[in-house]
Amino acid sequence: MTTRDTMELKEDTIRAQYDAALALLTGFDHAPRLAKAVDAPQAERSPGIGTRPRFRSTTPGLVTRPTTRPGGVRLVDRIESGSDGLVSPLQASVLHALRRALAIALAMAETFAAQSALVELKKANLEGRLPEGKRTEFTDLLAAEALLTLYTLANATAFLLAPHLTATTVEVGTVDEVLTDNAPLALQGVLWELDQDIATFATDEPRLAATVAAFAEALMEKIALRAQTAPRLEAFTGASWKVEADGLTISGFKPARAAKGGQITMQFKKPHEVVGNHIAKYQSLRLAKMLMAYDFDRKLNPFAELGGFIFTFMGDGKPGTGKTTLIQMMAGLLNDYCTNAGYPFRYQNFSIDQIDSYQGKSGQNAKALIDTVLDPGVIGFGTIDDIDQVAGKRGDRQSSAGQQEVTAVFMQAFAGAGTVVRGNCTFGMFSNYPENVDDALRQRAGARFLVDGPKTREDYIDILSLLLGKNHQIPLGDHDLFAAQEIRRAVAASFEGHSKPYEDGLLRVWEKVAADIGPLDTIAKIGRYLKAIQEADDRFTGRAIKNITDAVKVRAMDFELPDEWMAEPDLFLFKPYDEKLAMIRGLMTPITVEMVIQEVNRYADSEFRYADKSDEVAIEGMVRDYRRTEEAKRRYLEGKG
C-alpha cells in the first residue's frame, strides 16, 4: 500500500468558499461547448389525465419545458422546483451536499495552487508579465487544477449524498461538458450538465438524489481517465487530505469508498452464540474473511480467481434451528472487519413483504437488491429469507406473478450469461422448506449449509446455559461450557460423517456402486458414482458437478485467514493484489480423494433430501385431495338419499 502524508484540509479554508459555492448554485450563464441541451422526455400517461412536471423549468416564460435555455443555470431553483412552497428535507440535503462539495473542491484548488507554482503564474498573468517560456507550464497547471477540482467536487458529492440514497438507481450516461481551460469554467460546465440531467431524470425525490449521485460517479470516472495522461498533478496525487467534519479523505483520483456502506440495524451474534451447525458456522466464518480479501483497486478477490469463493449458498433446516442466528453472526463479523479496515459494508435482505401485486414491481425490488449488493465499491452480503415463499416454482399455478418475476431475476443474477463474480459479495438463500424452491434456482446455490441446530447432549447444555443468561445461581455441573463448539474439532468430525451418505436413496446408490467397482479412489470411479446418482435422480445435472467441484476447491482453502490479518489491515488487507494472491496460495492444501467423496455426498444428500421431501409433500397433498373427494361423494349421496 502506498504511504501518503495525510494533511488536514482546514474547515476555515472550506467555509471561506461558501459564498462562491452558493453563487454557483444560485445562478450563472454558460454556453455549452461540448454537450448539447436536450429536452426531457414527457412521462407517458393515460388519455385525459393531465400532468405537470415534477421539476419545473427555471427559465421564466418556459413553463411547459423541463429544461433551461443553454445560458441560464439556476440549480437552486431547479432542485427546489418540485416542492409545494416548502423545500423538502431531501431537497435541502441535496443542496447542502452540493454547496459543501463545491466549497471543498474550491478549497482543494486553492491548496493545490499554493503548493505548486500556479499562484505566482496566475499573478504574473494578471499583471501582464508572464514569460513566454512559462506559458506551457501555466496552461498545464490550469488544466491540472480544473481536473482535480472537478474530481474533488464529484468525490465529495458522492460521499456526502451516500446516506440519503435509496434502492432507486438512475443511468445518466457519460459527462460531456468537461472543460479544462481553468477551474471556474470547468465547474460551470459540469454544473450546467448536471442541471440538464436533473431536468431529464429527476422526476421524483428519490430520483433527484440518485441522479446527482450517478452524475458524480460518472464525472469521477471521466476525470480519472483524463488524469492518467495529464501532467503536473504530482502536488495533488502525491499526498492526501482529510476533511475532519465530514470524515472525507481526498487521496488523488480515488473515490472515498467509506461513504457507501450505510448503517445496519441488526442484533449481531458472536460465533460462540451459534450452537451446533458446525459446518455451516465454519463456512460462514471463512466466507466472511474471504470477502475481506477483495481488492478495491483491481475490483477482484484472489479467492474468486483461485476458484475457492462462495458466491451463492443455500441454508436450510427445520424452524428454530438457527438460520437467523447464522445470518446475524456473519453480518456482525463482516461489519466489524469492515469497520476496522475502513471498508464500506452493505447488508440487504429480501423478504415476503417485497412481493408486490403491481405488475413488474416485485422484479424491480429483487433487481434493486441484486444491484445494491453487487456494487463493486462495497463489501456486500445479501440474504433472501424464506426463499420458498418469495420465489415461486415455474409452472406452479399457486405461485403469483410477483413470485415468478423474483425467480427469473435471481436465476439471471446468480448464474446468468452476464453474471460476473468479483468476490466482493455473497448471497445467502434461507428456507425451512427448500423442497418448495424451484429446482433450477436451488441448484444455483453453489454451497449448501445444513442448519440442523443443536444435535449432541453438549450442544443442548451449551444452548440452555447461553439462553438462560447470567441472572441465576444454578451450578453448571460436570460440563466444559462451549468446548463442544470448538470449531476445528467439530468441523472435522462433521466432514468425516459425510464419508458415507445419510439419505436412504443415496445410500442405496453408494452401496451398489461400491459393490460393483470397489473403493472410489480414482477420478474414473468417482465419475461412475456421479453417473449412478444422476440415473437415480435426473435433477443431478452438470450444474451439480460444478457446485461440487467449487466446494472441493473451497476445501482446498481449508484454512482460516489469521485473525491478526483482520485486526491489523496492513498485514494483509492493504497489500497489493498480487501479494495477497501469493499469500493465499501459500496457505492452500492439496485436494484429496476424501475431500471429493465428502463433498459429493454432502451435495447429493441435500438434493435427495429435497427431492424426498418434495415427493412426500406432493403425495400427502394428493392423498388429502382423494380423501376430500371421497368425503364429498359420501355426503352428496347421503343428501340425495
pLDDT in tens, 467-506: 788 888 898 888 877 766 655 555 656 667 778 888 888 8
Confidence (pLDDT) at 13: 95
Confidence (pLDDT) at 243: 93
Confidence (pLDDT) at 602: 83
Residue 223: band (very low, low, confident or very high) from pLDDT cuts 50, 70, 90: very high
The whole-angstrom separation of Cα 193 and Cα 528 is: 63
18-53: buried (b, 16+ CB within 10 Å) or exposed (e) per residue?
eeebeebbeebebebeebeeeebeeeeeeeeeeeeb
- 330 Cβ contact list (under 8 Å, min separation 6): 284, 285, 287, 288, 381, 428
The whole-angstrom separation of Cα 405 and Cα 367 is: 10
The whole-angstrom separation of Cα 511 and Cα 513 is: 6
pLDDT, tens digit (0-9, with 9 covering 90-100), for 393-448: 887 877 888 899 999 999 999 988 778 899 999 999 988 888 788 888 888 888 87
Residue 360: band (very low, low, confident or very high) from pLDDT cuts 50, 70, 90: confident
CA angle 328, 329, 335 (to 5 degrees): 85
Segment of 133-137, 480-484, 494-498, 634-638 carrying the highest mean pLDDT: 133-137
The whole-angstrom separation of Cα 118 and Cα 137 is: 9
Which of 561, 568, 511, 563 shows the shortest CA–CA distance to 536? 511
- 285 Cβ contact list (under 8 Å, min separation 6): 271, 330, 333, 487, 560
For 585: left if phi > 0, alpha if psi spans -120 to 50, otherwise beta; the answer is alpha
Give the whole-number percent of the chain exceeding pLDDT 70. Answer: 88
β-bridge pairing 312-316 and 72-73: unpaired
In this structure, the dihedral spanned by the alpha carbons of residues 624, 629, 635 and 637, taken in order and rounded to 10 degrees, is -150
Query: 64-73, 269-278, 612-621: which range is least confident on average?
Result: 64-73
Confidence (pLDDT) at 70: 46
Using the predicted structure, report yes or no on whether residue 613 has a pLDDT greater than 90. no
For 277: left if phi > 0, alpha if psi spans -120 to 50, otherwise beta; the answer is left
Using the predicted structure, report yes or no on whether residue 54 has a pLDDT greater than 70. no
pLDDT, tens digit (0-9, with 9 covering 90-100), for 164-173: 877 677 889 8
Confidence (pLDDT) at 491: 61
Compute the 3-state secondary structure of the chain and give helix, strand, coil in percent, each to the nearest 5.
55, 5, 35
Using the predicted structure, report yes or no on whether residue 67 has a pLDDT greater than 70. no
Mean pLDDT of the chain: 83
Its pTM stands at: 0.55
Using the predicted structure, report yes or no on whether residue 206 has a pLDDT greater than 90. no
Confidence (pLDDT) at 191: 97
The whole-angstrom separation of Cα 51 and Cα 74 is: 23
Confidence (pLDDT) at 484: 65
Residue, of 384 and 434, whose pLDDT is higher? 384
Please give the average per-residue pLDDT across 227-243, as a whole number: 92
Confidence (pLDDT) at 95: 95
In this structure, the dihedral spanned by the alpha carbons of residues 122, 123, 125 and 130, taken in order and rounded to 10 degrees, is -110
Run of H or E residues at 606: helix 593-640
Residue, of 164 and 97, whose pLDDT is higher? 97
Give the whole-number percent of the chain exceeding pLDDT 90. Answer: 38
Using the predicted structure, report yes or no on whether residue 614 has a pLDDT greater than 80. no
Confidence (pLDDT) at 56: 36
Using the predicted structure, report yes or no on whether residue 97 has a pLDDT greater than 90. yes
Query: 47-61, 145-159, 258-272, 431-445: which range is least confident on average?
Result: 47-61
Confidence (pLDDT) at 263: 54
Using the predicted structure, report yes or no on whether residue 58 has a pLDDT greater than 60. no
- Domains of the chain, earliest start first: 6-31+55-260 (no CATH), 277-453+500-572+583-619 (3.40.50.300), 456-494 (no CATH)
Residue 641: band (very low, low, confident or very high) from pLDDT cuts 50, 70, 90: low
pLDDT, tens digit (0-9, with 9 covering 90-100), for 518-571: 999 899 999 999 999 999 888 788 888 888 888 788 777 767 788 899 889 899
Confidence (pLDDT) at 66: 38
The whole-angstrom separation of Cα 20 and Cα 99 is: 9
Confidence (pLDDT) at 46: 37
Confidence (pLDDT) at 585: 86
Confidence (pLDDT) at 256: 80
Residue, of 233 and 49, whose pLDDT is higher? 233
Please give the average per-residue pLDDT across 618-623, as a whole number: 74
- 480 Cβ contact list (under 8 Å, min separation 6): none
pLDDT, tens digit (0-9, with 9 covering 90-100), for 565-591: 988 989 999 999 999 999 988 888 888
287-304: buried (b, 16+ CB within 10 Å) or exposed (e) per residue?
bbbbbbbbbbeeebbbbb
Confidence (pLDDT) at 188: 96
State whether residue 14 is helix, strand or coil. Answer: helix
Residue 69: band (very low, low, confident or very high) from pLDDT cuts 50, 70, 90: very low
Residue, of 58 and 324, whose pLDDT is higher? 324
Query: 61-65, 250-254, 518-522: which range is least confident on average?
Result: 61-65
